[in-house]
Structure 1
Amino acid sequence: MASWDLVIGMIFLLQMMVGILGNFCLLHHYLFLYYTGCRLRCTDLILKHLTVANSLVILSRGVPQTMAALGLKDFLGNIGCKLVFYVHRVGRDVSIGTSCLLSVFQVITISPMNFRWAELKVKAPKYLGTLNILCWVLSMVLNITVLAYATGKWRNKNTTKKHNFGYCYIVHSENITDSFSLVLMLFNDCFCLGLMIWSSGSMVYILHRHKKQVEYMHTNNLSHRSFPETRATQRILILVSTFVSLCTLSSIFHICSVVLNNHHLWLVELSTFITACFPTVSPYILMSHDSRASRLCFA
C-alpha cells in the first residue's frame, strides 16, 4: 500500500471518528433532555433528525472510503454497494431537507407579529414532526433509482458509462429515466439551497432591523444578543452558511469528477471528504452555541 493511500485512509478515519463522536454527543444530549422531562425547543426536533441523517452520511461513505484507501478492494459486493449508496443518498437528502426546514422555521419564529405570515408562527410548530417524517419518506422514494445504478466492480461491463468510487461503481445508461433522475436530484438540491439562502438573508435583515429598533435602549444589562431567539438565529445562520459553502464546493468537485469520467480518483476522494465535512462539524457548531449541550457534552 502506497504511503499516500495510507495518509488518505487515516484522514478519512479521523474525520469519521470526530464526526460520529460529535453527532453521538448531540443525539445523547437531546435524548437526555427528552427522558428527563426537560422542556424542548421546537427546533430540537429538527436537529435530532439532522443528527441522525448526518451520522448516516458519515458512516455510509466514510467507512467504505477509509477501507478502500487502506487497500481493501471489492469488499462490499453488489448488494452492499447498492445499500451503501442508497443510505448515503437518503441521509444526504434528509440532511439538506432538515437544514432547509430549520432555516425556514427560524425565519417564521423571529418574524414580527405584523408579518404577513404571522399565522404561520402559531401553526408551524404543530407540523414539524409531520414535515420531518415527510422529508425521510420523500428522500427514500426519490433515491430508489440509486439501487439500479450502484454495483460492485466485478459486475461492470464496458458497454455503459461508469463512475469509479474506489470500492464501487455507479453505472449510468444513457436513457430518459437516467436523465430524469439527474434533473430531479438537481432540482431538489437547488430548491433547498435556494430556500436556505433566502431564509438566511431574511434572518440577517430581520436581525439588522431589530438592532436598529433597540439602539435607543442604553441599559447595560440588556442587549439584543441576550434574547434566546437572537442566539438561536445566529447559530442557525452559521450552520446554514457552513452547509451552503461546503455543499457548493462538494458539488463543484463532483461535477469535475463526472466530466473527467473519474480518471482522477483523488477528485472523488476530495469530493467525499468535503461532503462529510458538514455532518462532521455541524454538531460542534450546534453544541458551541447551545449552553444546554455545552454543559452536558463538554463537562
Structure 2
Amino acid sequence: MEVYQTTKLLLFLVLSLTGVQGNLTVFLAFIHIACSGQKWSPSDTITVNLSFTNLLLVTCRGVPQTLTAFGLKNLFNTPGCKFILFCFRTMRAASISLTFLLSISQSIIIAPASSRLAVLKKSLPRNLLCSLIWFWLLSGFTSIASILYTKAAEINATLSSFTLNLEYCFTVFPGKTVYEGTNIMVLVRDTTMIALMASASWYIVYILFKHRKQVKNICSSGHHRGVSAETRAAKAVITLVILYVIFFGIDNMIWIYTFSVPKVSTQITDTRVFFSLLYATIFPLVIILSNKKVSNSINYVMVLIKYKEAATAIVKDNKAHVSK
C-alpha cells in the first residue's frame, strides 16, 4: 500500500505542478499578446478562456488530491467543500464546452467560401461573447448538485451507497433517484459535447485533406508559401479533441462502472481523477507548440528575463569594482 501511496503522490504532484504552471504560462502569454496590441482571433479568445478554465480545474482538483496524498486530512469545512467541488465541476463542464466551441469555431474559420458554414464567418466574432456566457452559465447550472449535497469529510463516517468519497470531501445524495438523475444528466451533457466536437473535427480533417491536395498542385507550379496559421490552428484543435475524447472517454467509462458497484474503491476514484486532469495538463503543451503567437510571446519574455539578469549581474560587478 505504501508503494501505491507513493506512486499516487508523485503522479498527482507532477500533474498539479505541470498543469498549473503550463496553463498559467499560456494565460499570461495571451495577456502579454493583448497588451502588446496584437489582434486576437476568435480561436485565441476561446483558447485563453480554456487556459483559465484548465488552470482552475487543476487547482481545484489536482492540488487537494496531492495534499491528500501527502496525508493531510480535513482540508476544508463544509462551505469550503461546496465551493471547491462546485468550482471543479463547473470548470470540468466548461472545459468540455469550450473545447466543443473551439472545434466549431475552427470549422467555421477554415470552411471554404462555397460551404454553408462560410456565411457564419462574419457573425462569429459578434456572437462569440454570447456563446461563451451561455456555456459558462450552462456549466454552472449543471454543477449545482455540488453545492446542494457536498459536505466536509468525517472520520469513520458511515457512508451510503449514494455517496461520492473524495477523501477530503463527501457528496452525499439524498437517494437513488437524485444520484442516478444527476449522473445521467452530466453523462448526457458530456456525451453530446464529445459527439458534436468529434463531428466538427471530422469536418476539419475533411477540409484539410482537400486543402492538402490543392497544396500539392500549387507546389508543382512553384507557388507554395508554407503552412497557414489557420491550418496550424485546425491541426491543434484536432489534437485537442482526440486527447479529450481519449481521456474523458476513460473518465466517463469509469464513472459508468461506478453505477454498477455498491462501493467504489479509492483506487478506482484516483484513476478517474487522474484521467480527468490529464487533458488540462497536456492542453498548454499543445498550445505552446502549435500557436506561434504564444510561443513567440513566451520566448520574448524569456529573453527579457535573461537580459534583466545579465544587466543585474553587470551592475553588481560595477559596484564591486567601485567599492574596491
Q: Note whether the superposition's TM-score is higher than 0.5.
A: yes
Encode CA deviations 1:65-118: one digit per residue, 9 max, x unaligned: 111111112221222221111100000011011100000111111111111232
Q: CA deviation at 1:10?
A: 2.6
Query: 2: distance between equivalents of 1:56 and 1:161?
Result: 27
Correspondence list, 1:25-36, <5 A:
25-36=25-36
Judge which range, 204-213 or 52-61, deviates more.
204-213
Residue equivalent to 2:18: 18
Q: Is the 8 A contact 1:151 1:170 kept in 2?
A: yes
The residue aligned with 2:57 is: 57
For residue 94 of structure 2, what is the amino acid of its counterpart?
V
Q: Tell me, in whole angstroms, the C-alpha distance in 1 between the residues paired with 2:199 and 2:160.
A: 43
Question: Which residue is equivalent to 2:321?
Answer: none
In 2, distance between residues paired with 1:3 and 1:191? 39
What residue number does 2:318 align with?
Answer: none
In structure 1, the residue corresponding to 2:113 is in which secondary structure?
coil
Match of 1:98 in 2: 98
Cα distance between partner residues in 2 of 1:164 and 1:91? 20
**Correspondence list, 1:118-197, <5 A:** 118-154=118-154, 157-158=158-159, 161-174=162-175, 176-197=177-198
Find the residue that maps to 2:216 and give its secondary structure.
Answer: coil
How far, CA to CA, are the matches of 1:178 and 1:161 in structure 2? Answer: 6
Matches within 5 A, 1:1-299: 2-154=2-154, 157-158=158-159, 161-174=162-175, 176-217=177-218, 218-220=220-222, 222=224, 226-298=227-299, 299=302
Distance 1:261 1:16, change over 3 A: farther
Shift of 1:202: 0.5
Q: TM-score, normalised by structure 2?
A: 0.85
Paired AA for residue 200 in structure 1: S
Structure 2 spans left out of the alignment, 5+ residues: 303-324
- Distance in 2, matches of 1:287 and 1:119, equals 31
Please say if residues 60 and 85 of structure 2, whose CA atoms lie closer than 8 Å, have aligned partners that are also in contact: yes
Q: Deviations over 1:261-289 (max 9, x none)?
A: 44421111111111111111101101101
Give the direction of change, closer, same or farther, for the CA distance of 1:67–1:79 in structure 2 (3 Å limit).
same
Distance in 2 (CA, whole Å) between partners of 1:262 and 1:50 is 34
C-alpha RMSD of the superposition: 2.0
Does structure 1 conserve the Cα–Cα contact (< 8 Å) formed by 2:162 and 2:179? no
Query: For the pair shown, which has the larger CA radius of gyration, 1 or 2?
Result: 2
Q: Using the aligned pairs only, state the percent identity.
A: 26
Q: Is the 8 A contact 1:256 1:267 kept in 2?
A: no
TM-score by length of 1: 0.92
Aligned mates of 2:265, 2:222 — CA distance in 1: 58
Residue-pair matches, total = 298
CA separation of 1:97/1:263 partners in 2, compared to 1, >3 Å: closer, same or farther?
closer
* 1:175-196 Cα distance to aligned partner (Å, 9 max, x none): 5444433232122111110111
SS at match of 2:163: strand
Following the alignment from structure 1 to structure 2, what is the Cα–Cα distance between the partners of residues 262 and 245?
25
CA contact (8 A) 1:23 1:283 kept: yes
Residue aligned with 1:154, SS:
coil
Q: Retained in 2: the 8 A contact 1:149–1:171? A: yes
CA distance, structure 2, for counterparts of residue 33 and residue 9 of structure 1 = 36
Contact 1:45 1:129 in 2 (8 A): no
SS of 2:122's equivalent in the other structure is helix
Residue identity opposite 1:234 in structure 2? K
Residue 297 of structure 1 aligns with an amino acid whose one-letter code is I
Output the CA distance in 2 between the equivalents of 1:160 and 1:239. Answer: 35
SS at match of 1:216: helix
Relative to 1, partners in 2 of residues 1:110 and 1:231: Cα closer, same or farther, differing over 3 Å?
A: same
Question: 2: CA distance between counterparts of 1:239 and 1:220?
Answer: 33
Offset at 1:256?
A: 2.9
Match of 2:312 in 1: none
